Structure formats: C-alpha cells, structure tokens
C-alpha cells in the first residue's frame, strides 16, 4: 500500500514519523509524498500552543480533502488532549493517543485489505526516510517529562518519562548508518532527562553511541540547561559530536523564570554557555524565548533583551505567549494584552536577526565540514549545494552537484548571503 506520513510541530514528532516510515517499509508498503495518492494517511499532531492545535485541526481537514478515499489515522499531542474532537472530524478513521504510539503501525493497518505477499518489499539498506527527502534522521531516545513548567501542555499530553534502552538506540543508529544516514539528532520531550527511569543518563548514552556506532555526525535536539552536569562539554572532544546545542532559556529575567517554574536562572545559564564556549571552539548556542509571559513587566522585558544580547545566540525561536487551557500560566495574574505581546516579539525578532547575522559574519574564513543536502536553484537559475556546518549554520556553495547529496565535504567559509553562509569546497 501507499502510505503518506505527516508531522506538525517538534523534532520528536519527526522522529516518530521516521520510525513509522521504516516499520511500514519493512512490511512491504511504500511511503509516498503529498503529491501522490495514498491508501493510508497518518498525521502526528501538535498542541504546544493554541495556534499549533488550530493548525493540527486544519491539517486534518486538508489531508482528508487531498486523499478522500484513504484511511486517515491521527495521533500526537492534539489527538491525545482532544480525542473526541479529533475523532468527530470529517474523514478521521482512527485516533491513537501518545501512550499507544508504539503500536500505531499495526493498529493503522488493522482491517485494511492487504495482499498476503507484498508487491514491494524493502531490502535492508533501503531507507524510507530518504523517500521523504531527508539527509539526517531524528532518533527518539525518550518520551515524557517529570517537570511541570507552568506554560507547558506537552507534559500532560506525553505523560511520565520513559527512556529507551541503550541497546535499542545503538541498534537503531547502526541500522541507520548501514542505510546511508550520515547524521542523527537525539530527540525526546526531555532529552536531558534520558535514563532517569533506567539508572542511566545522557552523558552515558552519548559515550555509548560514540563507542558502539560509527555514525559520523551526532547532534542534540532541545536540551534543558539544568540537565547538563559539570564536564559534559568534554564529550565534544570527539569530533563526531557536533558543536551546537539548543538550550531553551525562555526568559532573561529571574523573576519571570520563577513564575515559569524553570530550574535554571540567568547566572547558571551564563556559566553554562561560558563553559561550552571555553571547551569547544565555535560552539553555537541557540534558544527559545517566550515574549509577554504573564506578569512580565517592562523592566523584566528589558532584562531579557539585555541578557539575550550579552549571550549572543546564533538563533532564537521567539514565541508570543499564548494562554493554553490546562496550564498554570493561563490562570496567573498579570496577563499581558496581545498587542503588547506581539510588540515584544517583533522587538526580539529584530534583535535575534542582528545577532544571527553577526554570528554568521564571525564564521568567515573558518574551515569546516558540511553535510550536503539536495541542491536548489535560485531565482537567477544558479544551482547551489546546500547543507549545514558542524555548528549548525546553513551554508551554500557553487556549483550544485546532485552527486554531492548526502556527502560530507570540507569547506572554507567565504562570506554570508541572506540567511546562509557561502563557501567553497576545498576537499
């Protein structure tokens, strides 16, 4: 059968999608893109904000319109938090909550007519995720979170922490490498909490992957800053660990961090970044900031902008605070008018753009390795190779050679253009 998979939201949703893609392929089914009719459509929804939930609902309707005869299976956080609403949506055949995701492939196929012998079967080494246009793989290492930040609905949707056994993760990473994958991203709801339920930890996981796999490039998805123990950045002495981490700050005001129930205050965050940059050359730190959190005074906001400028992030995800039913933050006093929340977001976006531009300009003259993705053609008709540097800056180079796709090459950075670095291949 033809299977179309779609995810909205976080990298964990993407990792789950890739796992399902491989399972469907092993059973002899073909993963297809949105432009090809499908027999089965699976959507992994998001509910991190009210806007994400709205987009999830709209995407359900669009997927049904695009494949009205296909079976439509919906999972993810929005489906878990609002199962009856999702089940009543036109076209939805099955709702699978987050707690049952491991059985999604089997449940999605139940009752569907299938030939006893698949017409197409994948041999080991054929990658379902490449059919979806991916040059790296997201590897889910855990699910759930034991913390309760006051703005977060995801902990309700994902439940308690559950870590995958080390051996399972090693096997998956080795299988991905055998299939030609050059880079993995370790992802989860609370990546830094890996192993809390199985007498293990994130540092042990990383050491094990570096020892027991040959994956050329290993990255992290978002990691809470309070989870990184002293000496953690010594792991980056192994060049296979990419010098970039996304450490969500959320606010540069300790007053607001307390209202958010965050466990890392600005002084600890500052020291963490200092340790990373001292231990690892060209270490790139990116972050999340929530704009207009309840009770955030103008002074709190100025503290955030000053702290952001002091740290000098390579990229910032700026979120306009959105009250989310079911979270403590939605009930806090001091809710800020939407217009003011949006004004603060615009101010942060302007600052973040400048800091990113300065961080990119500082890369000029550096030499680094780039994993090339699919070439693209610009408006002038020039074909470019594109990919990411080790420290996670997008980069492009001429000429765009399709044979270079999924190849790691050494590049000298020559300058910047728009949102990307430019470089030349030197070997």
Q: Are 332 and 150 in contact (CB under 8 A)?
A: yes
Classified by CATH at the fold level, domain 2-109 comes out as Rossmann fold (3.40.50)
This prediction's pTM: 0.81
Q: In sequence order, which ranges of 67-141 are alpha helices (DSSP H)?
A: 77-81, 83-87, 104-109, 128-131
Query: And the tokens for 215?
Result: 């994956």
What pLDDT score was predicted for residue 129? 46
Q: Spell out the CATH class of 255-362.
A: alpha beta
- What's the mean pLDDT when you consider all of the chain? 89
pLDDT, one tens digit per residue, over 32-45 is: 888 888 999 999 99
Query: And the tokens for 146?
Result: 């034991």
Which single residue is written with the structure tokens 């933050």? Answer: 329
* % of the chain exceeding 70 in pLDDT: 94
Structural domain boundaries in the chain: 2-109, 135-242, 255-362, 367-425
What pLDDT score was predicted for residue 402? 67
Q: Checking DSSP bridges between strand 142-143 and strand 162-163, what pairing results, if any?
A: antiparallel
What pLDDT score was predicted for residue 33? 85
What pLDDT score was predicted for residue 45? 92
Q: Do domains 135-242 and 255-362 have the same CATH topology?
A: yes
Classified by CATH at the fold level, domain 135-242 comes out as Transcription Regulator spoIIAA (3.30.750)
**Is the domain covering 367-425 a CATH 2.40.50 domain?**
yes
Query: Is the confidence at residue 131, as pLDDT, over 50?
Result: no
Query: Is the confidence at residue 132, as pLDDT, over 60?
Result: no
DSSP lists the bridge partners of residue 415 as 422
51 — pLDDT class (breaks 50, 70, 90): confident
C-alpha dihedral sign at 65, 67, 69, 71: negative
291 — pLDDT class (breaks 50, 70, 90): very high
Q: Are 180 and 130 in contact (CB under 8 A)?
A: yes
């Amino acid at each position: 059968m033809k299977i179309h998979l779609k995810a909205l939201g976080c990298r964990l949703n993407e990792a789950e999608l890739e796992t399902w893609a491989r399972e469907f392929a092993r059973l002899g089914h073909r993963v297809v893109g949105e432009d090809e009719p499908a027999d089965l459509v699976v959507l992994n929804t998001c509910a991190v904000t009210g806007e994400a939930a709205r987009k999830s609902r709209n995407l359900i309707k669009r997927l049904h319109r695009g494949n009205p005869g296909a079976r439509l299976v919906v999972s993810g956080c929005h489906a878990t938090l609002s199962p009856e609403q999702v089940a009543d949506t036109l076209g939805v055949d099955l709702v699978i909550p987050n707690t049952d995701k491991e059985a999604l492939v089997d449940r999605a196929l139940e009752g569907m007519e299938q030939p006893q012998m698949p017409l197409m079967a994948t041999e080991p080494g054929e990658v379902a995720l490449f059919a979806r246009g991916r040059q790296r793989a997201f590897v889910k290492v855990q699910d759930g979170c034991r913390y309760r930040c006051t703005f977060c609905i995801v902990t309700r949707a994902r439940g308690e922490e559950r870590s995958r056994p080390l051996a399972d993760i090693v096997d998956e990473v080795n299988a991905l490498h055998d299939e030609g994958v050059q880079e993995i991203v370790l992802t989860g709801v609370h990546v830094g909490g890996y192993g809390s339920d199985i007498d293990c930890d994130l540092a042990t996981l990383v050491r094990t992957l570096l020892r027991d796999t040959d994956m050329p490039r290993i990255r992290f998805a978002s990691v809470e800053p309070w989870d990184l123990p002293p000496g953690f950045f010594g792991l980056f002495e192994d060049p296979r660990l990419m010098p970039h981490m996304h450490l969500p700050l959320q606010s540069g005001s300790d007053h607001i961090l307390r209202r958010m129930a965050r466990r890392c205050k600005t002084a600890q965050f500052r020291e963490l970044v200092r340790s990373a940059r001292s231990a690892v050359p060209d270490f790139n730190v990116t972050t999340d900031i929530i704009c207009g959190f309840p009770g955030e005074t103008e002074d709190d906001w100025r503290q955030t902008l000053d702290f952001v400028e002091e740290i000098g992030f390579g990229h910032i995800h700026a979120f306009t605070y959105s009250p989310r039913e079911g979270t403590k933050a939605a009930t806090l006093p001091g809710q800020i008018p939407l217009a003011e929340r949006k004004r603060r977001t615009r101010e942060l976006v302007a600052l973040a753009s400048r800091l990113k531009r300065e961080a990119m300009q500082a890369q000029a003259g550096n030499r680094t390795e780039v994993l090339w993705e699919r070439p693209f053609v610009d408006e002038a008709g020039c074909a470019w190779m594109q990919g990411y540097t080790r420290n996670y800056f997008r980069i492009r180079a001429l000429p765009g050679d399709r044979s270079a796709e999924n190849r790691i090459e050494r590049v000298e950075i020559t300058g910047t253009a728009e949102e990307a670095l430019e470089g030349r291949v030197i070997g």
